[in-house]
Amino acid sequence: MGRRKRNIAEAKDLYDNSKESNALFEKYYTAQAMLPEAEWPVFMTAMRRAYLSHSESPVSVSLLKLLRTRYLEDLLSLTDIRPPEPLPWYPSGMAYQLHTNRLAIRKINELQRLHSFLVTETETGHITRQEAVSMVPPLVLDVRSSHRVLDMCAAPGSKTGQMLELLHRGDDSEAGRSSGELPDGLIVANDVEPAHDGRAYMMVHQLKRLHEPLLCAVFPRRSACPSPSFVAAPRWTAWRPLDRVLADVPCSGDGTARKNPGVWRRWKPGHANNLHLTQAKILKRGLELLAVGGRLVYSTCSLNPVENEAVVGKLLLETEGSVELVDVRPLLPGFKSLPGLSSWKVMGANGTLFEKYSDVPVGRDHAYLRPSFFDEGYKDLPMERCMRVLPHLQDTGGFFVAALEKRRHLPWMNPPSGTRRRPQRLLRMPALRMDAQFKRPLEMSPKSKRRRFNEDPFLFMGPEHPVWRGISETFGIDSGRFPCGNVLYRCETSKKRHLYLVNDCARRLVQGNPELKTVNMGIKIFSVCDDAEYKGYRPLQEGLSLLEPFITLRRIRVPRCDLLVLLEHELPFSDRFTEATRTAWRALTLGPVVIDYRRDGEDAQQLPDVDLCLAGWRGRTTLRAYMNRHERLHLTRMCGVEDLVEIRGKTAGQGDGEGDDEDGPSDDEEAVEPPAAAAAADGNDGEAE
């Protein structure tokens, strides 16, 4: 056996689940009759076959073209591994599926270039690696550019990032970005406070890579939650209700047995039974927040009907026809799924199966089994409109998706005239006010005052703010065109180190809810620069796509040859550039600059085939571009250049004699993520459902 085949065999053995089994699991799901008897062996084989799906979702056509033509060629020569292929049901072919596990990608030599590509593009936010079937809920949510969207249980954040991409696609996002315009919508990523949940930290890390002004990450107080596992949602009663809500709820996760082999050893019927009420509360709260005509998508990575059809059926009965279960399969042509179950059995802790609640013995041993677990009363509901995804249908994980649309106000939120009955409150949280003008701040009880968050407040600038006046004069920004009223900072007294930009909807959310714990919001656009010869602010690369249309001063345009010099060297001296670039460089004083690359006059086949704008620094003897190692690797790939050896080290200019150049400040805020965070991101090949 050759070395390559031996490596492939060893990598496959690392994820050998073929001997995993659980007698209760097989007994329970065999009794559900969710498959024809002939398909059961195929289903169980697929459940045991170790497999981890990576779905890459590039945000640009150029990056997708590069992936197809350059990084998949090596895989085509491998006869042992099925080459990556686009998911037929994902819009515009913007997602690829790898038919191998993550350890094989690292171990096989032919896949190392692809692995390096995936790591770099994931770190820069251009690609998201995710379980393929977990990409379904955001697609059927049908997000538009003007929608207010709440992701109720957002951690670890992959679905939130996907919805942000879809929100931009609601309009011509490229045209909007080039003109500096932003969609009117907003996505609020909500999860429990991260004190005891590492997934919440993962969510913040994931979302910071996206550099989005349409995103707000919030952590409601854990004290507001009925139980530690309950994911609370803010109360938005004074603003127009939400257009879309995603409730990807906590679940037992037995649909992930292929990538999480521990599920086979841990699976018990009580896991799903104990989560049923929590899931129903989350779904009910989401429906309360939803606008009439809006859509909520409920999803789990579980196969258990107690967590799926029983939860949906319970809420459909409680809403008394004000909510409709809709079939969203037409939105996913080519996607294979089974209809929801109309009948099922419930298993007790000792493995006994019950068809009806009346069959459950009276006593403490079965006190946790509730009437809502059973299919009685749900048989007349259109459960076939739900989507059940099983592993053997299209080589994915197991999943459940149900889409509900609100046709009229919920019965408990629309009391009859003449009554004073107030809407039910599942959470004791202050009402969220979304209007910019409100009469007085929220009043808090003495008890809640003791729980104030130690978070710096969000404060907004305006055209007359002294800091903004200095920035607009330096870079020639017309404050009448640029939405400077949406520029915020988080330090009231000391120097404002970073400035962020949000859209109008996010600003109203912050101004109307001073007590909301917002941990991450907007896109960073400026950072303070305290150099010996320049004191002021410099634009940051992550927000430059929005700033660039408004900046008229301190710009340098470079040809492709000079762009490659900037990418190859950390601090290149001015004499490395062309005469035209040196002339523009001499015309500027020391300080931050915007470096432009435009395709005008270039060969049509020459890479990069897109316009680029880089945040840079004009030093006394150098011209540099501010970017970390991953961003540099990304741009060299876009230029069609092989990965430069210098870039793979800690600093791109080491050994050139340029590392000691005194020009420009350090770039601490744009440094590469700490090793622990980077490793966490690298290992998050899919939702940790």
Q: What is the pLDDT of residue 137?
A: 96
Omega prior to 156 cis, within 30 of 0:
yes
pLDDT of residue 417: 53
Backbone region of residue 682 per phi and psi (left: phi > 0; alpha: psi in -120 to 50; beta: other values)? alpha
Please give the pLDDT value at position 254: 93
Confidence of residue 69 (pLDDT cuts 50, 70, 90): confident
Q: Let me know whether 193 and 126 are in one domain.
A: no
Strands of the 53-56 sheet, one edge to the other: 53-56, 96-99, 85-86
pLDDT at 628 over 80: yes
Mean pLDDT over 421-449 rounds to: 38
Asked which of 394, 413, 432 is the last residue of a domain, the reply is 413
Q: What is the pLDDT of residue 233?
A: 41
Pairing of strands 96-99, 215-218: unpaired
604: pLDDT confidence band, cut at 50, 70 and 90? Answer: low
Burial of 578-592, coded b for 16+ CB within 10 Å and e otherwise, reads eeebeebbeeeeebb
216 is known as an active-site residue: no
b/e code 411-449 from CB counts within 10 Å (16+ = b): ebeeeeeeeeeeeeebbebbebbbeeeeeeeeeeeeebe
Assess whether pLDDT exceeds 60 at residue 75: yes
Boundary residue ending a domain (105, 131, 157): 131
Q: Are residues 273 and 405 in the same domain?
A: yes
Mean pLDDT value of segment 625-633: 89
Q: Residue 21: pLDDT above 50?
A: yes
Whole-number pLDDT of residue 16: 56
The pLDDT score that the predictor gives to residue 114 is 79
pTM of the predicted model as reported, rounded to 2 decimal places: 0.81
Residues 213-230: tens digit of each pLDDT: 777 777 664 433 333 333
- Give residues with Cβ within 8 angstroms of 2, minimum separation 6: none
486-509 per-position pLDDT tens digit: 999 987 666 788 999 998 888 888
User: What's the pLDDT band for 589 if we cut at 50, 70, 90?
Assistant: very high
118 and 149 inside one domain: no
pLDDT band at 275 (very low <50, low <70, confident <90, very high): very high
- 671: helix, coil or strand? coil
pLDDT band at 642 (very low <50, low <70, confident <90, very high): low
DSSP bridge pairs for 597: 612
> Is residue 671 located within the same domain as residue 595?
yes
Is residue 602 included in any domain, yes or no? yes
Euclidean distance between CA atoms 594 and 626, whole angstroms? 10
Mean pLDDT of the chain: 78
The total number of structural domains in the chain stands at: 3
Pairing label, strands 399-406, 323-326? antiparallel
Is 274 found in the same domain as 409?
A: yes
pLDDT band of 262, cuts 50, 70, 90? confident
Annotated binding residues, written as ranges, equal 153-159, 191, 248
pLDDT value of position 439: 32
The residue from 216, 225, 251, 301 that is catalytic is 301
- How would residue 463 be classed by pLDDT, with cut points 50, 70 and 90? very high
Asked if residue 15 has pLDDT above 90, the reply is no
- Mean pLDDT for 413-422 is 54
- Band (77; pLDDT cuts 50, 70, 90): low
Separation CA 257–CA 79 (nearest Å): 27
pLDDT digits (tens, 9 = 90+) for 88-114: 898 888 888 877 766 777 777 767 777
- The closest alpha carbon to 404, from 509, 497, 501, 322, belongs to 322
Band (pLDDT 50/70/90 cuts) for residue 166 is confident
Confidence of residue 680 (pLDDT cuts 50, 70, 90): very low
What b/e sequence results for 367-385 when a residue is b if at least 16 CB atoms lie within 10 Å of its CB, and e otherwise?
Answer: eebbebbbbeebeebebeb
The answer to whether residue 210 scores a pLDDT higher than 60 is yes
pLDDT score of 4 more than 60: no
Indicate whether 364 belongs to any domain. no
Residues 177 and 67 placed together within one structural domain of the fold: no
Is it the case that residue 6 has pLDDT exceeding 80? Answer: no
Both 113 and 218 in one domain: the answer is no
> Among the three residues 116, 131, 146, which one is the final residue of a domain in this structure?
131
Q: Are residues 79 and 140 in the same domain?
A: no
- On whether both 268 and 400 belong to a single domain, the answer is yes
**Co-location of 106 and 254 in the same domain:** no
Indicate whether 611 belongs to any domain.
Answer: yes
Tell me if 182 is assigned to some domain: yes
Asked, for residue 669, whether it belongs to a domain, the answer is: yes
Q: Which amino acid is at 276?
A: H
d(CA 97, CA 118): 13
More confident residue, 556 or 604: 556
665 pLDDT above the threshold of 70? no
What per-residue confidence (pLDDT) applies to 454? 54
Instruction: Give domain status of residue 474, yes or no.
Output: no
At 520-537, the pLDDT tens digits run: 788 999 999 988 889 899
Among 559-573, 577-591, 670-684, which stretch is predicted with the lowest mean pLDDT?
670-684
Range of the domain at 39: 3-131
Helices (H) and strands (E) in the chain, counts: 23, 24
Average pLDDT of the residues in 625-646 = 81
Question: Percent of the chain scored above 90 by pLDDT?
Answer: 39
Q: Is the pLDDT of residue 330 over 90?
A: yes
Buried b (16+ CB within 10 A) or exposed e, 601-627: eeeeeebbbeebbbbbbbbeebbbbbb
619, part of any domain: yes
Same domain, 54 and 97: yes
Which amino acids are annotated as binding site for S-adenosyl-L-methionine, given as ranges? 153-159, 191, 248
CATH of the domain at 271: 3.40.50.150
Question: In the prediction, which pLDDT does 326 show?
Answer: 97
Q: For residue 430, which of 154, 656, 238 has the smallest C-alpha distance?
A: 238
DSSP string across 271-323: HHHHHHHHHHHHHHHHHHHEEEEEEEEEEES---TTTTHHHHHHHHHHTTTSE
Amino acid at 162: Q
Residue 182, pLDDT score:
73
**Residue 315 pLDDT class (50, 70, 90 cuts):** very high
**641 pLDDT exceeds 70?**
yes
Q: How many CB atoms are located within 10 Å of the residue 636 CB?
A: 20
472 belongs to a structural domain: no
Q: What is the pLDDT of residues 349-400, one digit of tens each?
A: 889 999 999 999 988 778 889 999 999 889 899 999 999 999 999 888 999 9
| Cα–Cα dist 541/305, whole Å | 47
Residues 113 and 10 in one domain: yes
Among 66-75, 148-157, 613-622, top mean pLDDT goes to 613-622
| Residue bearing the bigger pLDDT, 277 or 516 | 277
The answer to whether residue 9 scores a pLDDT higher than 90 is: no
Instruction: Specify the pLDDT at position 55.
Output: 58
pLDDT at 267 over 60: yes
Provide the pLDDT for residue 220. 60
